Structure 1
Amino acid sequence: MRRHAKAARKDAFARHGATAAADIARHGIAFAGRAAPAVVSGFLAIGEEIDPTPLMLRLMAEGYRLCLPVMEAKGKPLLFRAWSPGDPLGEVTWGIREPLPEAPVLDPDIVLGPLLAFDTLGYRLGYGGGFYDRTLARLRALKPVVSIGLAFDEQRVDAVPRVDYDERLDWILTPSGPLKCQSA
């Protein structure tokens, strides 16, 4: 399924990649019900992921505080460090760029995440490391958190395979607009 989902995302990126980031940014995240100065974790796109940078710039202009994920180790939840455009970044595994260790640690109120495929129940197919599932479980044990997957409309599937530790997303934000995930 990952192979098929990667191919579908690659095709969608080829068709819409130039405009998808701007479309996502135009929608904003008011639908999530969390006002600034809430902390939003974004990510820096790799490969054919939708680039969330225009959305993060809009959110920063609206007064949200931003952070980016940091991988501490395999099998551990992500850590989040404060980030603003222009802050220095280090490159780690898979070409992912992360804030440096000097950046303050934050626990986000809203988590934006990449994915390979999604269904209407809010299950996401990721890259297989379980980082976002462990992270959402940790954050949800601390406080209410809104999770938003960023995806092309073409990444929607009938059902994502899942196991008992998979965490559901609350929303999917596509270039055509936000989709509230249904109750399981």
Structure 2
Amino acid sequence: MTITADIDEAKRAMRREATARRREIAAPDDADPLLIDNLLGSRAVPDGAPVSGFWPIGSEVDMVPVLRALAARGHAVALPVVVGRNRPLVFRTWREGDAMAEGPYGIREPLESAPEIAPQVLLVPLLAFDRAGYRLGYGGGFYDRSLAMLREDGPVTAIGAAWAAQEVPAVPHDQHDQPLDWMLTERECFRIAGGAS
């Protein structure tokens, strides 16, 4: 077995465990204000920077209230759109009340008529994370490709968003895995050592 195959198998095993663990997490009743306060109380999002969030699926942490708070502070807010397998995401503007469509994987997305933007900050969903800044996603590589593409054009801050209970000692990773710069949970928002400020 090659090193890459070993890493892929370790990721698959961790994905199964992390998915089951996340389903059992009981979101605190005050999760929305905790997440908002933790993010806005940090230096993770520069003033006026365009921000992409994500529409929650299943037991993911809900970033919609955070996106509302950022929009109220004057940030352009976007949501990701899947345009094809093995392709980077497209980011389209989103405002409260905008019409949405169901995209691949059952995720709500802005309509094709919504303008595209290049976010400077991405709130990134995940199944597990570690303190070194690595995240375990769902295995499609969409965020890794998107972050790599965006970072070619300039600095982009990646903020993982999850429940604190999703932290693990170490996430298996390879050269294609784009690291996070910050991590947001209901308990804290912390900068990853070496991450973008």
Q: Shift in Å at residue 33 of structure 1? A: 4.9
| Cα deviation digits, residues 154-178 of structure 1 (max 9, x gap) | 1111110111111000011000111
Cα deviation for residue 9 of structure 1 reads 1.2
Q: Is 1:31–1:178's contact at 8 Å kept on the other side of the alignment?
A: no
Of 1-10 and 17-26, deviating more is 17-26
Runs of 4+ in 1 over 6 A off after TM superposition: none
Q: Distance in 2 between matches of 1:107 and 1:22?
A: 27
Is residue 67 of structure 2 the alignment partner of residue 56 of structure 1?
yes
Task: State the shift of 1:48 in Å.
Answer: 0.2
The one of 139, 145, 152 equivalent to 2:156 is 145
Report which of the two structures shows the higher radius of gyration computed on alpha carbons. Answer: 2
* Post-superposition CA distance 1:135-156 (Å, at most 9, x none): 0000000111111010111111
Unpaired runs of 5+ residues, structure 1, are none
Report the Cα offset of residue 22 of structure 1: 2.9
Q: Give the C-alpha shift of residue 17 in structure 1.
A: 4.9
The DSSP-based 3-state class of the residue aligned with 2:158 is: strand
Q: Is the 8 A contact 2:129 2:136 kept in 1?
A: yes
- Aligned residue number for residue 163 of structure 1: 174
Q: TM-score, normalised by structure 1?
A: 0.94
Structure 2: stretches of 5+ with no match in the other structure: 1-13
Counterpart in the other structure of 2:5: none
Normalized against structure 2, the TM-score is what? 0.88
The aligned runs of 1:24-173 (5 Å cut-off) are 24-29=35-40, 30-36=42-48, 38-173=49-184
Report the CA distance between 1:11 and its aligned residue. Answer: 1.6
Distance across 2 between alignment mates of 1:70 and 1:173: 22
